A and B are shown apart, each in its own frame.
Chain A
Amino acid sequence: MGATVSTPATTGGTTPGSGHDTEGPSLADGAGRDPVTRARATGVTGNAAAGTGAMDLLRFAAVGSVDDGKSTLIGRLLFDTRQLFDDQIEAVAAAGRRRGISEVDLSFVTDGLRAEREQGITIDVAYRYAATPHRKFVIADCPGHVQYTSNMATGASTADLALVVVDATTGLREQTRRHTCIAALFGVDQFIVCANKMDLVDWDEAAYRRVADEFEALARRLGVVSTTVIPVSALHGDNVVDRSDAAPFYDGPTVLEALEAAPAGGWAGFHGAHRGTGARLPVQWVLRHPGGGRSYAGMVNGGPLRPGDRVVVLPEGIETTVSAVETFDGELAEASVGLSVSVHLTDDIDVSRGDLIAAAEEPPEVTTEMEATVCWFGDRPLRPGDRLRVKHTTRVTPARVSEVRARLDVNELTLQAADVLEANDIGVVHLSMATPLAVDPYRRERITGSFVLIDEATNATVAAGMVGRPDLPAG
């Protein structure tokens, strides 16, 4: 079977202070493991791991159930890669002391809100940044509580990779499954699973295997092809950045090694580039040029765009040719996916914000009816007949829920017949739009396959939507 995951990466000098390895994984070594003490003792020049040259960009979301240790793991990752500044470490230590916590609580690194520190939970996504010599990481530390699922979805919707944190003492929980489902539905196709709190089960291989087996079964049913399961202790730092010898049964990558080995940019710049939809440019803004010409500004998605390409302007359906693609810095021979550009067309046709310029040979479907999968975040249930607004690419249109068809059972991974969706349910609905939209199935192209639903009265964003239905059996 052809493994698509790279072998453990060489981290080439990306872990300053590798002398930590000699400390070993001693669980009793509390003082030596205290982050502040450790930072001072090692005297490593902080924050210098970042490269100062060209880097690629990997966005990942830390997901999983509440109290399984996501924030502590991210805090540990940042601390052990020297991404934290001295004053930030001191502030975290001081915040802990004020709350009577004797040891440094690494979860405070990302749990920055007053209410989060009071309750010891994560309420909303924290974005943190880390860099190693050739890679910039954008980290979304997501909340685990079911009531904050919309915040988790916010963090996962732009992720290239999901870092799933599981408490090895309990195994997968319902929220672990829900988060994994949402990430997979959103098109995340790389998962690094941390079997966390291994110190609490005395590094028992059976506990690790249980997490691995449960997750593997879940991943397989969700069609996820790339999964790495790592035994860790976020609290003590084992196998996060520093390799631990507490788990002799494990010889795979550390969390940092797995993150460095993962292919970057699946979402940020090159999502869809190799899935073959052809170029899609939702028009954001019309630029007027001196002398009377116009160009159409937007981000390139789906596939590259070049001068001479035959394109169709949707939903009108008028065909024309790209005469030039440019940025402020000049004309381009080819605009890659993820670039913000402006496009000149050979014919003088009416194009405005909300239109979609698409490859003429492979246009998306123009429709006023669609079946879609939605994550419902509204305070009240979603029912047939509900009127909402759809924001799809740069177009907003009124829509009606003509049917609620199914609800996803995240434990059984089946679609149950349903005619109502409660808050934080994932389900399948049928929508009728007031004006046509140019859509692709989400699995082929995220930008033209995704939408949000907006409450007409409050302007709140009440659902994340994806064109198409999950590839799961009826229950």
Chain B
Amino acid sequence: MSTAEIVTAEPDQCLAGLGSARTEAVLVSPTPIDRSATPSVDHLGLLEAHAIFILREVAAESERPVLLFSGGKDSAVLLHLAAKAFRPGGFPFPVLHVDTGHNFPVVIEYRDQQVADLGERLIVASVQQSIDDGRVADPGPNASRNRLQTTTLLDAIAEHSFDACIGGARRDEDKARAKERVLSFRDAFGQWDPKRQRPELWHLYQGRVQPGESLRAFPLSDWTELDIWQYIGREGITLPSIYFSHRRPVVERDGMLLAVSEWVNPGPGEHATEETVRFRTVGDATCTGAVRSAASTVDEIISEVAASRISERGATRADDRFSETAMEDRKREGYF
């Protein structure tokens, strides 16, 4: 006997309400769906269409949305998708960079060039300014400023009355992000409450907030690192050069290769070496590590990512190593 339990209910065996109710019934159609037609849109096409749909919904339902752009690969994809969603019109939101002051100069140049080429408005919220204004304590010249971004972001939200911040975060990055809705509701303190998230059904993104409350919106939620690179290749999206293999002086610290810079210098017992590296993520230079890599084209990077045994953030982000729930804790405080 074959016990593969392949059960096929005959349509007339379905417990039907019969009569006129049948045409109004919610339950699965008694007629099996014809799936013989081959889908003509691949996974990247579907991810793109969904992201554009989300961008348009957030822009339409929010009073004062803003798009967060760091110059990293995910926000580069987000900017590209925003152009696809709203051209030939202008963006219905400004572009905001929360600048830790510890960014690679090449990334800052790229940021300014990209936004200028699009003819859109860039707002830079500066962590250095927050420090100078006494809003946050300076953790020291060599310490990570990643965590300080939260205060700077919340201040920018308050100053500009933003009610929706569109970001390039992906759920595959971290186990707390994996739990977050596409539209993530934040209270008047910017806090995420993971135990009380709004239901998010079908494509009905419901972003109503009270004054002072805000949303984070993540159109790339369902994209993986590999999807991002495949899409960058397909669309010919330009990235900062540090994403591709190059030689640079680095110092190994906490198992990560940090670029030697004005903020990162070899400490006692450390020494700088020149390595062939590239960056898998781009963030605060004091806590974003490079990976040894000879991949100098998008295709080579796709092959490398597909074979990688270390996750993107595990390889490159010191800020996630503080504790088991570092990302969840930051989000509870108002982080992206």
Contact = CB atoms under 8 A, between A and B. Distances in A.
- A and B, one complex? yes
A222 interface: yes
A42 interface: no
Contacts of B209: 459
Contacts of B226: 50, 52, 131
B328 interface: yes
B26 A452 contact: no
B200 A154 contact: yes
B204 A1 contact: no
A42 B199 CA distance: 41
B6 interface: yes
A91 B324 contact: yes
A288 B175 contact: no
Of A150, A185, A269, A447, most buried by chain B (CB within 10 Å of CB) is A269
Contacts of B11: 225
Given A52-B302, A290-B88, A338-B41, A112 B5 contact: no
Interface stretch (A122-130, A171-179, A315-323, A343-351): A122-130
Contacts of B33: 189, 266, 274-275
B195 to A, nearest CB: 6
Contact of A274 (B7, B30, B35): B35
A3 interface: yes
A198 B259 CA distance: 52
Contacts of A15: none
Given A50-B306, A114-B328, A469-B26, A461 B198 contact: yes
Contacts, number: 330
Interface stretch (B17-25, B116-124, B151-159): B17-25
Interface residue range, chain A:
35 or more
Interface in A116-157: 117, 123-129, 131, 136, 138, 150-151, 153-154, 157
Nearest to B25: A471
B201 A52 contact: no
A373 B311 CA distance: 43
Main secondary structure of the interface of B (DSSP, over half): loop
Given A127-B221, A129-B222, A95 B324 contact: yes
Contacts of A459: 206, 208-210
A464 B199 contact: yes
A227 B176 contact: no
A5 B198 contact: no
A56 B39 contact: yes
B296 to A, nearest CB: 17
A469 B179 contact: no
A230 B4 CA distance: 7
Interface in A92-111: 94-95, 98, 110
Of B56, B195, B197, B314, most buried by chain A (CB within 10 Å of CB) is B56
Interface in B53-94: 53, 56-57, 59-60, 83-89
A454 interface: yes
Of B7, B30, B171, B325, most buried by chain A (CB within 10 Å of CB) is B7
A212 interface: yes
B134 interface: no
B143 interface: no
A47 B224 CA distance: 12
Contact of A470 (B25, B53, B306): B25
Given A223-B16, A461-B201, A46 B53 contact: no
Interface in A421-447: 441-444, 446-447
A112 B328 CA distance: 9
A226 interface: yes
Interface stretch (A24-32, A82-90, A356-364, A380-388): A82-90
A153 B41 CA distance: 27
B27 A443 contact: yes
Contact of B29 (A57, A124, A227, A443): A443
B65 to A, nearest CB: 12
A35 interface: no
Contact of B4 (A216, A228, A284, A371): A228
Interface of A: 1-5, 8, 45-48, 50, 52, 54-57, 85-88, 91, 94-95, 98, 110, 112-115, 117, 123-129, 131, 136, 138, 150-151, 153-154, 157-158, 184-185, 187-189, 193, 208, 212, 216, 219-230, 249-253, 263-266, 268-270, 273-275, 284-285, 287-290, 297-299, 327-329, 336, 338-340, 353, 371, 373, 377, 391-392, 394, 413, 441-444, 446-447, 450-452, 454, 459-461, 464, 466-473
- A-B pairs, 3 with minimum CB distance: A252-B4, A112-B175, A87-B314
Interface of B: 2-11, 13-17, 21-30, 32-35, 37, 39-43, 45-50, 52-53, 56-57, 59-60, 83-89, 171-172, 174-176, 178-179, 181, 194-195, 197-204, 206, 208-210, 221-222, 224, 226-227, 230, 302-303, 306-311, 314-315, 324-325, 328
